[in-house]
Structure 1
Amino acid sequence: MNTAFLRSSGTVPGCVLRPLQPSDLPAVLRLQARAYPPAYHERAEVFATRLALAPGGCWIAERGGEAAGYVIAHPWQDAQPPDLHAPLSMSSAPQGDIAFLHDMAVCPQARGIGLAQGLFRKVRAWAICQELSAIVLVSLPDARAFWQRLGFVDHARTVSAGYGAGACCMRLALSAK
């Protein structure tokens, strides 16, 4: 596996961005609880299956020795996004030619310092190294403008009701440039 994405730009002053480990999942759950309303809280098992499927697409950010943000992404097929709250099976998860950015959260105290962009750059670099053609995600209404600033556009795919009212699928085409 090409590991150039481990060294790729994604630095954020005052923060350490590193590959997510299974031992980080309790911190991920705490961050998730601070970032999202309860209807969006997923179990550790959901994150663990995605981490096992694509460790290179999963990162955690630390600031002052504390978890400040995370991102979870994995390969997928260009079809309907996976359901929220559903663990993936290693044997049945489609390997597809796109990256699905499952979740990204930044604690309120670390917002506005470029942490989300740094985490996203790590996922983008990983997806390019994996020769994936695009990154797809489901955006909640209040995050749509953020993703648009990063170049994502609306992607006509059905989004399950579990993502909530106003959620939409978005896509960013990738190139190795």
Structure 2
Amino acid sequence: MIGKAMTGRWRPMRVDDLTAVAAISDTVHGAAYTERPAIYVERLALYPAGCHVFVRGDGGPVEGYLISHPWRRDDPPKLDRPLGAIPSDADGYYLHDLALLASAQGTGAGRAALALVLRQAVAAGFDDVTLTAVNGADGFWAAQGFAYADRDGPSPYGPGTHLMRRTAAMW
């Protein structure tokens, strides 16, 4: 949808959004990459500035979510495991998850979410964003300026997943 305005908005995630967030995760990621609802509860509690949902209109249903936070760039958080705390030695910003229902795809929500994450990374004092691409999303992320940053050995999320990074030089 190049040149078309986004048809919704990202707003801060609230506790009452968490049921929808968990359902969207189950729908978008399937059994392989979904996380328990308690993981989303913890992320929101630990770093609310990095948690957002995509809605259309005032009071429209949640059609996507975004979770991001400071972290260690070469040690992505484990899937479906609590963080415990945001590390004091965080050296990068981590895009933990961006999930959109089919109804929100093609609305510009993905690009708007990335712009939001890049602004947050800069505001938090970081000059890169790292993510783990799953379900073949590495093509989307590569098109958004992310480069493969896989380390030697298996990806922490399993085969077919990729650690990717976008640095300030690519913004």
TM range (shorter): 0.7 to 0.9
Tell me the distance in 2 between the aligned counterparts of 1:52 and 1:167: 27
Alignment-mate amino acid for residue 101 of structure 2 = C
TM-score (ref. length: structure 1): 0.84
Aligned to 1:126: 120
Q: Residues 71 and 103 of structure 1 are in contact (CA less than 8 Å); yes or no, is this contact kept in structure 2?
A: yes
Tell me the distance in 2 between the aligned counterparts of 1:48 and 1:98: 22
| Aligned residue runs from structure 1 range 26-175, under 5 A | 26-64=19-57, 65-90=60-85, 93-95=86-88, 96-157=90-151, 159-160=155-156, 163-174=157-168
What RMSD over aligned residues (CA atoms) do the two structures have, in Å?
A: 1.7
Q: Residues 29 and 135 of structure 2 are in contact (CA less than 8 Å); yes or no, is this contact kept in structure 1?
A: no
Q: Residues 81 and 159 of structure 1 are in contact (CA less than 8 Å); yes or no, is this contact kept in structure 2?
A: no
Percent identical among aligned pairs is: 34
Alignment-mate amino acid for residue 70 of structure 1 = Y
Aligned to 1:3: none
Q: Residues 133 and 162 of structure 2 are in contact (CA less than 8 Å); yes or no, is this contact kept in structure 1?
A: yes
Tell me the distance in 2 between the aligned counterparts of 1:174 and 1:46: 29
Q: Residues 136 and 161 of structure 2 are in contact (CA less than 8 Å); yes or no, is this contact kept in structure 1?
A: no
Aligned to 1:23: 16
Tell me the distance in 2 between the aligned counterparts of 1:52 and 1:171: 25
TM-score (ref. length: structure 2): 0.86
The structure, 1 or 2, with the larger RCO (C-alpha pairs under 8 Å, 6+ apart) is: 1
- Return structure 1 stretches of 4+ with deviation > 2 angstroms: 156-159
Question: SS of 1:36's equivalent?
Answer: helix
Tell me the distance in 2 between the aligned counterparts of 1:67 and 1:136: 25
Q: Rate the CA distance shift 1:174–1:48 in 2: closer, same or farther, 3 A.
A: farther
Tell me the distance in 1 between the aligned counterparts of 2:45 and 2:84: 10
Question: SS of 2:113's equivalent?
Answer: helix
Offset of residue 159 of structure 1:
2.5
Tell me the distance in 2 between the aligned counterparts of 1:13 and 1:168: 28
Tell me the distance in 1 between the aligned counterparts of 2:132 and 2:73: 13
Q: Residues 80 and 159 of structure 1 are in contact (CA less than 8 Å); yes or no, is this contact kept in structure 2?
A: no
